[in-house]
Structure 1
Amino acid sequence: MRLENELFRRLRPNIQRLIEYGFIEQSGIFQYQTKLEDTGMYARITVENNSVSGSVLDEFTDEEYIAVHTVGKKGNFATKVRTAYLSCLEDIAKNCFEKMVYSTNQANIMHEWMIYQLQDIADHPFTKSQNNKRTTDNDFTAYKPSGCDKMYALMFTIGKRKLDKKCDDEYVDAVNIKVEPSKVADLLQSPGFYPAYHMNKKH
């Protein structure tokens, strides 16, 4: 997965902040360029339709330095460039973007509908290990009706390849929801539906 996709997957751009930061807008596309200090490279960042892409190029030849996006690429220079580029992306994320609950608009709309219209309760039921400590895993959100301890839906972010091996490694938002067993077979014939199980290992 590219650095940009990982870093910005749950963020949304604030147009005014992009402009104030130095992004130039043309036909709805925002672009920003900056030097990566002590590398002889510069970064070009593009924001289009809530999607962020970027490249690193040589200051003298304008040739793209693709190693910055090569997984497992080692070496002092490659590490230096990658670190400088990541620092640039993190600063843009901090100053120009707003955090969202999920990475897709559809999932965020569903979240708001369940919370504000249905007045359901959302919480994070799982923990994960981070820096040798157990912390709340915000990638998983359970939804329960008010006054009930049993969740009816679990929303989370997952790599598409874990759902379908033919897909790429991009992240998607998914919902695990309990359905009547008699409806499972028909639902699995529809695009976007995959087999899943509830806590009791039943549909």
Structure 2
Amino acid sequence: MWNEVDIFQKRKINFNQLIPYGFIKKENQYIYTQNLLNNTFQVIITIDSHSNIHSQVIDLAFHEEYTNFRIKQQAGDFVTQVREELLAIFNDIKEQCTTPQDFIFPQTNRISQYINNQYHVSPQFPWENDFESGIFRHPDNQKWFALIMNINKKKLNGEDKNIEVINLKLNQEDISHLIQQNGFYPAYHMNKKHWITISLDDTLLDQDIISCIDKSYQLTHPVHDWIIPANPQYYDMFHCFDHDDTMLWKQSTHLYVGDVVYLYITKPYAYILYQCQVLEIDIPYNYHDSHLQINRIMKIKRLKTYQPDEYSLEILKRYGIKTLRGPRRLTPALKNALHQ
């Protein structure tokens, strides 16, 4: 079946170009008319404010709609001429009044634009003859943090229609919670323990999807190792993990989920006490007194506890750590030693 909508797939209507092209605006619609085949037919093209496109072909001799050109089985010379003239008109409108888009559906393109604006990453289409599946790679390590696909919703136990979806990497706790909600599904074609599929058919608000994108980006970020000093005058460092292996900690630099943090207890002890992993970041927090100001915190999990003689300040100096006045990255030599 001949369908004008297919011609405008992956195109964005430039409404400011429609009137100069010849469209007439009536209420919330733009209407364009042109005669075909030596004035024997007339095409009426309507574009509404949501970019929906509809057309009618009128037989001017009988003043009734002509639909044979839409029927695939109709293949005579006459109907072929009608199709060719219509296609030329639509292609010209596409050229003059639209701009290319990476994806078909409006929410998908809004999400893709967010990723580009926020992380300066554009989709890649690496598969031959598949221009609908776009991957987004982390710029620091080229790992995927998002995959957009066009699939039939029946594959997600939905209705029989094509939609675009995005696959994102999340932690298992988030996945098990989200797939109970409408619009979230166990990952299609990816590891269901670590990935989730989200529909991009405006079932969900953009912001709900964006928060998942940000988490996926963090989870696929290269892991960095930090050493962070902790003053025992202000923190009960020796008992902070007595009841739970996780705790909230002041965040004074930008870290990512998955980063490894070594808590160094300052004088009079002066040694690395804990190895921890970052579970959550940028949690809003408002605290200040005469000694301390905290605007955000992170959630960390203890992985290991060290003995005082393992990584004392004297030993750290051998690995290039001379002083510790604030959070800093590990030197390569210290990183290798700690990872061993």
Above 0.5 in TM-score? Answer: yes
Moved more, 32-41 or 45-54: 32-41
Runs of 4+ in structure 1 over 6 Å off = none
2:189 paired with 1:197: yes
Give me the whole-angstrom Cα distance separating, in 1, the residues matched to 2:9 and 2:52. 9
- 2:120 — aligned with what? 119
Question: How far is 1:18 from its partner?
Answer: 0.8
Give me the whole-angstrom Cα distance separating, in 2, the residues matched to 1:116 and 1:142. 16
Note the alpha carbon deviations across 1:23-71, whole angstroms, 9 max, x for none. 0001120001101124721111000021111111101222111222223
What is the aligned-residue RMSD (CA, Å)? 2.6
Question: How far is 1:156 from its partner?
Answer: 2.9
Give me the whole-angstrom Cα distance separating, in 2, the residues matched to 1:150 and 1:23. 46
Aligned residues: 192
Note the alpha carbon deviations across 1:115-140, whole angstroms, 9 max, x for none. 22133453222112xxxxxxxx4322
- 1:178 — aligned with what? 169
2:5 paired with 1:5: yes
SS at 1:17 equivalent: helix
- 2:102 — aligned with what? 101
Moved more, 23-32 or 81-90: 81-90
Asked if 1 retains the 8 angstrom alpha-carbon contact of 2:112 and 2:122, the reply is: no
- 2:254 — aligned with what? none
Moved more, 144-153 or 31-40: 31-40
Instruction: Look at both structures and tell me which one has the larger radius of gyration over its CA atoms.
Output: 2
Question: How far is 1:77 from its partner?
Answer: 2.0
- 1:138 — aligned with what? 131
Asked if 1 retains the 8 angstrom alpha-carbon contact of 2:18 and 2:97, the reply is: yes
2:45 paired with 1:33: no
Asked if 1 retains the 8 angstrom alpha-carbon contact of 2:151 and 2:164, the reply is: yes
Give me the whole-angstrom Cα distance separating, in 2, the residues matched to 1:161 and 1:57. 37
Give me the whole-angstrom Cα distance separating, in 1, the residues matched to 2:172 and 2:83. 49
Q: Aligned in 2, Cα 1:118/1:93: closer, same or farther, shift over 3 Å?
A: same
Question: How far is 1:150 from its partner?
Answer: 1.8
Segments of structure 1 that go 5 or more residues without pairing to the other structure are 129-136
Give me the whole-angstrom Cα distance separating, in 2, the residues matched to 1:160 and 1:54. 27
Question: How far is 1:143 from its partner?
Answer: 0.8
Question: How far is 1:194 from its partner?
Answer: 4.1
One-letter amino acid of the counterpart of residue 138, structure 2: P
Q: Give the fraction of aligned pairs with identical amino acids, expressed as a percent.
A: 27
Give me the whole-angstrom Cα distance separating, in 2, the residues matched to 1:121 and 1:110. 11
Q: Aligned in 2, Cα 1:159/1:111: closer, same or farther, shift over 3 Å?
A: same
- 2:54 — aligned with what? 53
SS at 2:80 equivalent: helix
TM normalised by structure 2 equals 0.50
- 1:16 — aligned with what? 16
Give me the whole-angstrom Cα distance separating, in 2, the residues matched to 1:6 and 1:149. 33
- 2:320 — aligned with what? none
Asked if 2 retains the 8 angstrom alpha-carbon contact of 1:25 and 1:31, the reply is: yes
Q: Aligned in 2, Cα 1:201/1:6: closer, same or farther, shift over 3 Å?
A: same
SS at 1:152 equivalent: strand
One-letter amino acid of the counterpart of residue 152, structure 1: F
One-letter amino acid of the counterpart of residue 147, structure 1: D
SS at 1:122 equivalent: coil
Question: How far is 1:17 from its partner?
Answer: 1.6
TM normalised by structure 1 equals 0.79
Q: Select the structure that is richer in helix.
A: 1
Give me the whole-angstrom Cα distance separating, in 2, the residues matched to 1:81 and 1:104. 29
One-letter amino acid of the counterpart of residue 149, structure 2: F
Moved more, 3-12 or 118-127: 118-127
Asked if 2 retains the 8 angstrom alpha-carbon contact of 1:56 and 1:68, the reply is: no
Give me the whole-angstrom Cα distance separating, in 1, the residues matched to 2:94 and 2:157. 30
Give me the whole-angstrom Cα distance separating, in 1, the residues matched to 2:62 and 2:26. 25
Question: How far is 1:189 from its partner?
Answer: 4.1
